[in-house]
Structure 1
Amino acid sequence: MTALIAPMAAHVALAALLYALLTAARAPAVWGVGRAADGTNPWAQIERRISANLSNQFEWPLFFHVVCLLLVHLQAVDAAQIALAWVFIAGRVAHSGVQVFTANVRLRGLVFTVNYLAVLGMWGWLLVRGWWL
């Protein structure tokens, strides 16, 4: 098993956790479980943030998974790629935390930059090393 499978699985686990959180946040509206006394969903505000973050898990991370699969297929995984993959995962977790639990768009943008640069670094490292030939 390659060392890149673990960070890829970690991202899948993050998405699964977000699906579980979204289900719990929607429970008052869908099943009536946990409704406020006035019948509203007390989790409505966070539900929108979880939903938006879950959508984000299928945008930029696509490029992470593609480069990981290419690296595995080409047998081009090295310590730098593994480190960048884990930086990406740490950044995704931080990004999710910021997006779900705060409204701080500036911080979210800064944290996203970590994810963005880690994936660009993985692609750049792959191309510079000439593994794509």
Structure 2
Amino acid sequence: MAHPLILPMAAHVALASLLYVLLTVTRAPKVWGIGRRSDGSNPWAAVEPRISANLSNQFEWPVLFYAACLLLMQNPSESVAAVALAWIFLFGRLAHSGVQIFTTNIRLRGLVFTINFLATLGLWALVLQLRSLRAA
């Protein structure tokens, strides 16, 4: 049976995949001429850089989320706290993506990022706790 941390990890992969699709669609008018306005402009020009930046963000802090999850998955017992923190991370990432793509509110984006930040720190606290228990 698969470890329960796999599901939030896979959901984050799905989010990154969706962002690739959105980026491709928003770049289509410029790259392929598909969906251009009658004046030749790209109707997605304002949102495309925000999608691109958000996609890049999916390969920054989340790397620490994946590392913590992989280390926690080596433990034979499943931690309810770890699974809860992983789902909190995912929902925080979804909220962060929505705020970054659909608004220009940097203050709100920072607040929403805090959800991901704290959830990942919580996962790492669990990793360190497991390591200290094994060493004892």
TM-score w.r.t. structure 1 length? 0.95
- The 3 A distance-change label for structure 1 pair 92 and 126 is same
In structure 2, the residue matched to 1:88 is 89
In structure 1, the residue matched to 2:28 is 27
Q: What does 1:3-22 align with in structure 2 at a 5 Å threshold? A: 3-22=4-23
TM-score w.r.t. structure 2 length? 0.93
Runs of 4+ in 1 over 2 A off after TM superposition: 74-77, 128-133
By how many angstroms is 1:37 displaced? 1.4
Q: Write out per-residue CA displacement over residues 40-91 of structure 1, whole angstroms, 9 at most, x where no aligned residue.
A: 1110110000000000000000000011111112335300000000000000
Are positions 1:65 and 2:66 aligned together? yes
Higher mean C-alpha displacement, 65-74 vs 4-13: 65-74
Q: Which amino acid aligns with 2:111?
A: L
The number of aligned residues is 133
- The 3 A distance-change label for structure 1 pair 45 and 131 is farther
By how many angstroms is 1:126 displaced? 1.9
Q: Secondary structure in 1 aligned to 2:46? A: helix
Are positions 1:127 and 2:128 aligned together? yes
Which consecutive unaligned segments of at least 5 residues does structure 2 have? none
Q: Distance in 2 between matches of 1:5 and 1:18?
A: 20
